[in-house]
Amino acid sequence: MSNYWAEWLRIYDTDHFTLSRKQGWDRFVNSAPREEFATLSRTQMGRLSKDERRDYNEARMVWNANLPTVRTSQLAHANSIIDMVLASARRDGDKLRGSVVIDAEPGLGKTTIATRYGRAFHRDQHRRYGTETPEGHQFLPVAFIPIAAQTTLKGLNQRLLNFYGHPAAKTATKDRLAVHLVDVVGSCQTRLIIIDDIHFVDFRNRNGTEMSNHLKWLANELPVTFVFAGVDLEQKRFFDEGLTGEEAVLAQTARRATRVQVAPFSIASDAGMTAWIAILRAFGTHLKLADGDGEMLVPLAHEIHRRTQGRVASLTNMLDRASYLAIRSGTERITDDVLAKVRVDNAGENGARRL
Ligand SMILES: Nc1ncnc2c1ncn2[C@@H]1O[C@H](COP(=O)(O)OP(=O)(O)OP(=O)(O)O)[C@@H](O)[C@H]1O
Ligand SMILES: [Mg+2]
């Protein structure tokens, strides 16, 4: 069995996806799930040499740090709304399509919802229509771009063109960029454009108003459904385009966009507790610990909720770290003691202190 785990590690390195370019997005869309390997018992681990043991631990830390995406009720709810909005995307090209806005606080799974939806949609379209358009262009049903701080209108168009690897992205003027964009989206027959972290645009100032008008223009020009994701978008006046008072009523975005909220897990009701336990079971089953199992986290449900406030990002952080500690300390199971030693993100720690 010598070198077995070292072999593993070579193919088992963490994947680096750059989703904001078509090659990276394509890899993400078509990547097979990580191949699973056996979880060793304590006796089996005892038979490993020192190096094998280290390699095995490294391989399972990679495994444990990549928890599966769980079909939570939040995710299912968001999917059903995107599906519904896309249903009207079957309108003819001259008619306006709606957009979806995933609006929630940090760390609740917005990006996960958007990218997983995009992946499923992309695969489905390729299965149905093949990977080339009738004109022989690459068929790219989905484009994904995250926005960075202080993105201007020009920057947005450049990022979109960059996704397609369009050579004009760097050199074209502002007006030409928009023309190229309409062109490339048309020839690649893109149907869904996901723009993540749109909260980086401040819709209350001039740049924001310009951006808002541009997004409306794109929605008019392109036969595409937009999915936006970001933090506190309603407060940031994404929907009313930065307009206030009576003028806000005139904002077209509010009439065209469907808002999807994502809530943290709440254990106040029985149904909420059931959903929380379900995700803990799913994660517990996934983790590779000699004495761990799907039930390991269930008795810790209240404590884990207190520490993470039911936020999925804090939860995944906590579990990576807890399983690391369980391996290092040799407990090989996540227990009260292990949890007590884990530090989670700052917001989670502060939230737990308040409770
Ligand atoms: N349905 C899910 N199942 C499993 N893990 C999830 C799920 N949703 C989110 N996560 C995990 O939670 C973490 C945060 O998720 P994500 O990045 O999607 O949140 P976000 O709302 O986009 O955060 P931010 O506001 O920081 O952009 C990630 O590690 C992700 O893998
Ligand atoms: Mg995100």
The rounded Å distance from CA 110 to ligand 2 centre is 5
Of the pLDDT bands very low, low, confident and very high (cuts 50, 70, 90), residue 6 is low
User: If you compute the radius of gyration of the chain from its CA atoms, what whole number of angstroms results?
Assistant: 23
CA dihedral for 159, 161, 166, 171, sign (positive or negative): negative
Could you give the CA distance from residue 226 to residue 223 in angstroms, rounded to a whole number? 10
What distance lies between CA 43 and its chain's CA centroid?
A: 39
pLDDT of residue 249: 58
Is a pLDDT exceeding 50 seen at residue 142?
A: yes
Ligand 1, residues 72, 101, 265, 312: which to mutate, most atoms within 8 A of Cβ?
312
Q: Which atom of ligand 1 is nearest to the CA of 106?
A: 25
* pLDDT over 90 at 132, yes or no: yes
Residue 151 has pLDDT above 90, yes or no: no
- Average pLDDT, stretch 184-206? 91
More confident residue, 272 or 12: 272
- Residue 317 near residue 339 (C-beta atoms within 8 A): no
- Whole-angstrom distance, CA of residue 277 vs CA of residue 282: 9
Ligand 1: which atom is nearest the Cα of residue 68? 4
Atom number of ligand 1 nearest to Cα 112? 18
Averaged pLDDT, 114-142:
95
Domains and CATH numbers, the chain: 38-70+267-354 (no CATH), 73-261 (3.40.50.300)
pLDDT of 233 higher than 60 = yes
Residue 212 has pLDDT above 90, yes or no: no
pLDDT at 137 over 60: yes
| pLDDT score for 9 | 57
Q: What whole-number distance in Å separates Cα of residue 231 and Cα of residue 248?
A: 20
Distance from the alpha carbon of residue 106 to the mean position of ligand 2, in angstroms: 7
Contact 118, 194 (CB under 8 A): yes
How far is CA 222 from each of CA 123, 241, 257, 287, rounded to the nearest angstrom? 21, 20, 16, 44
Q: 157 in ligand 1 pocket by Cβ < 6 Å?
A: no
Q: What are phi and psi of 156, to 5 degrees?
A: -65, -45
How remote is the CA of residue 55 from the centroid of ligand 2, in Å? Answer: 32
Residues with CB under 5 A from ligand 2 (ion): 110-111
Between 238 and 240, the more confident residue is 238
Q: 92-118, pLDDT tens digit by residue? A: 655 667 889 999 999 999 999 999 999
Contact 331, 291 (CB under 8 A): yes
How does the average pLDDT of the chain come out, rounded? 88
Task: Identify the band that residue 348 occupies on the pLDDT scale cut at 50, 70 and 90.
Answer: confident
The residue type of 118 is: G
For the CA of 105, the nearest atom of ligand 1: 25
Q: Is 144 left (phi over 0), alpha (psi -120 to 50) or beta?
A: beta
Q: Does the structure show a pLDDT above 90 at 209? A: no
Model confidence at 83: pLDDT above 90? yes
Q: Is the CB of 313 under 6 A from ligand 1?
A: yes
Given a cut of 50, whether residue 1 has pLDDT beyond it is no
pLDDT at residue 2 in the model = 42
Ligand nearest to the CA of 279: 1
Return the higher-pLDDT residue of 166 and 343: 166
CA of 174 to the centre of ligand 1 (A): 34
Residue 194 in contact with residue 143, Cβ under 8 Å?
A: yes
Residue 33 has pLDDT above 90, yes or no: no
Q: Quote the pTM value.
A: 0.90
232 in ligand 1 pocket by Cβ < 6 Å?
Answer: no
Cβ of residue 112 lying under 6 Å from some atom of ligand 1: yes
Is residue 284 pLDDT above 90, yes or no?
yes
- Ligand 2 center–CA 111 separation, angstroms: 4
- Is 189 a pocket residue for ligand 1 (Cβ < 6 Å)? no
The ligand with the least distance to the CA atom of 102 is 1
Q: Which residue has the higher pLDDT, 5 or 126?
A: 126
